[in-house]
Structure 1
């Protein structure tokens, strides 16, 4: 019975950490988890266990480990000497937790990495104005019209219309080329790390 109770407590701790770290539940505190699942354990011992499990969950979630990766990771953790590793029971609890919560944690991480408002759609066209349509003696150059559909999660879209003349289009293209070169440079720099 003691082993089943230990598994229940560790499962509760892992779920509590997920609530706090990934699901935005600010009322799930370290002290609440200790009083709920490990009241007989000293604060220092619980803090060490809490930080270990929190660190392991963050590593697992950051890598979005599949079953094989998780198994290899936890096998390496169980082989660690000293207090840095995990027991076989802890590894089993982590496996059960990740199997049931991987999708939800992943969605939480993705939602947290999105910029809001986000671009939902973009349409554009180029208009040529003739002298007769404007009443001018000389026609103006081409005009690029762009409509951006922007929105926040769970809200209706907003639309923004932009008008560019030829010089503004060329400037925007130069700026995008500069951004691309910067990103390529950063990507090449990180490959050597």
Structure 2
């Protein structure tokens, strides 16, 4: 019975850590988790345990581990028990937690990594203005929005030099993305 209770408390701790890290639940604090789940554990032991579980959960979530990766990771963690690893019960709890929460954690990480508002659409045209003697003018209309918000439209007018500057910046961004992709 004590083993089952410890497993429930560990799962609750992992859920609490996930609430803090990925679901913005500020009311779930380290003190709260200690008092509710492990009140009999010395504070320094709880703090070390809490930080170890937090680090493991961050590693698992950052890598978005699938079942095979998770099992390999947890097997490696059980082998280094004395050096900050986990025991079999803790590995089983981490595995159960990740199997049930992987999708939610991944969605949270993705939503936190998006810029808001995002670019929903882009249209442009070039107008020739002969009466004033100006050269061609590019008009770019961007549709911005995100997260269920109504769209906002922004219209930008650019001359030929400004268009070239924008195109250069876009080429620089593309080169940076390509360089990152080549490293991975």
Both structures adopt the same fold (TM-score exceeding 0.5): yes
Q: How does 1:81-160 map to 2 (within 5 A)?
A: 81-129=81-129, 131=130, 136=131, 140-160=134-154
- Deviation track 1:32-56 (CA, whole Å, cap 9, x = no partner) reads 1111111111101111110010000
For these two proteins, the number of residue pairs brought into alignment is 184
Contact 2:144 2:152 (C-alpha < 8 Å) held by counterparts? yes
Per-residue deviation at 1:153? Answer: 1.8
| Equivalent of 1:187 in 165, 177, 180 | 180
Contact 2:81 2:87 (C-alpha < 8 Å) held by counterparts? no
Question: Corresponding residue for 2:79?
Answer: 79
Question: Corresponding residue for 2:7?
Answer: 7
- Deviation track 1:105-130 (CA, whole Å, cap 9, x = no partner) reads 1111111111122111111222334x
Task: Return the alpha-carbon distance in structure 1 between the equivalents of residues 46 and 132 of structure 2.
Answer: 82
TM-score, with structure 2 as normaliser? 0.91
Question: Corresponding residue for 2:39?
Answer: 39
Structure 1: where are the runs of 5+ without partners? none
Per-residue deviation at 1:172? Answer: 1.6
Per-residue deviation at 1:175? Answer: 2.8
Task: Return the alpha-carbon distance in structure 2 between the equivalents of residues 81 and 99 of structure 1.
Answer: 23
Task: Return the alpha-carbon distance in structure 2 between the equivalents of residues 15 and 187 of structure 1.
Answer: 33
Question: Corresponding residue for 2:161?
Answer: 167
Question: Corresponding residue for 2:65?
Answer: 65
Contact 2:139 2:155 (C-alpha < 8 Å) held by counterparts? yes
Question: Corresponding residue for 2:17?
Answer: 17
